[in-house]
Amino acid sequence: MKKYLFISLLLIIIAVILIYFYKYREQNLGDLLDIGNVNKVHIITQHKGSFQFELKEVDQEYINKLTDFLNQYQVKLTNVHGWVSKYENERFELFLGYKNGKSDRFTIEHDVVVSTRVYKVLNAPLDYKWIQEFERNINPK
Q: In this predicted model, what pLDDT tens digit does every residue of 83-104 receive, in sequence order?
A: 787 888 888 888 999 989 899 9
- Model pLDDT, residue 48: 63
Every domain of the chain and the residues it spans? 26-138
21 Cβ neighbours under 8 A, 6+ residues apart: none
Adjacent-strand bridge partners of 75: 27, 121
Residue 56 and residue 2: Cα distance in Å, rounded? 61
Listed residue (24, 44, 103, 36) closest to 70, CA to CA:
36
Adjacent-strand bridge partners of 50: none
- Model pLDDT, residue 36: 87
Residue 105 and residue 41: Cα distance in Å, rounded? 10
- Model pLDDT, residue 101: 87
pLDDT tens sequence for the chain (141 residues): 788 888 889 999 999 999 888 888 889 888 888 888 898 888 888 766 556 777 888 888 888 998 999 999 999 998 887 778 788 888 888 899 998 989 999 999 988 888 888 999 999 888 889 998 888 888 766
